[in-house]
Amino acid sequence: MPFFRPHFAAGNFARRGRVQSYEPSLTDDAPLIAVTLAGDNAAFGQLVGAYQDRLYNSLLRVLGSAEDARDITQDSLVQAFVKLNTFRGSSAFYTWLYRIAYNLAMSHLRREHKTASLDEVKTSWGSEPMDGQPAPDADTLRREQAELVHAGLAALSLEYRQILVLREIDGCRYDEIAEILELPIGTVRSRLFRARLQLRDYLAPRLHVERIVDTR
């Protein structure tokens, strides 16, 4: 999904203030960050290339709108470039980037008074399976189940949808989620538990099973 392909030529972005020194962390991103801060802006294109699809997919599931997810991903990456000198390496680069995206997404939702709707998610991911159709094959069944999960996410409140996306789809650790959402880890755990229960309650009658989501 190559919608973010900036040309980091001199003068394309005006940095504010002096570039501060960066202490590399023990991550694969540290060398690219250090090189970017040293003045090689092309390195930032390599850095964000590893994360832009992941960020877009997460925002799509949270916002329910491909256009909004695309715009906020673009804005997040630009803002991350401008603010890169503030990154200290105390967290993973993606955690820091997602925090920027989360703030932009919340501002967008407040400004537009928008929430991801079930209809929007169905448009992006396809409709629920219809009764009376021939028995689906395995691939069709997996696709229909995935579409139901996406529809179930859209039916949740924003706070529950966000935390499920971060944990179950993005695979973030509890401490990373706590940092992104600025919540105590205990709140993350309890909110995630309730979100899983609500998603299970949505999916169970549609998939005809009693235990869809592990609520531990």
Q: Tokens 């695979």 map to which residue?
A: 171
Q: Where would I find the H helices in 83-184? A: 93-112, 118-125, 138-155, 158-164, 174-181
**pLDDT, tens digit, 9 for 90 and up, residues 73-132:** 999 999 999 999 999 887 889 899 999 998 999 888 877 655 444 445 444 444 444 344
Q: Show the domains of the chain with their CATH numbers.
A: 30-112 (1.10.1740.10), 118-207 (1.10.10.10)
CA angle 90, 94, 98 (to 5 degrees): 105
3-state secondary structure of 26: coil
**pLDDT, tens digit, 9 for 90 and up, residues 26-76:** 357 888 898 999 888 888 988 888 889 999 999 998 888 899 999 999 999
pTM of the entire predicted model: 0.66
Measure the CA–CA gap between 36 and 210, rounded to whole angstroms.
51
Tell me which amino acid residue 38 is: A
Q: DSSP class of residue 41?
A: T
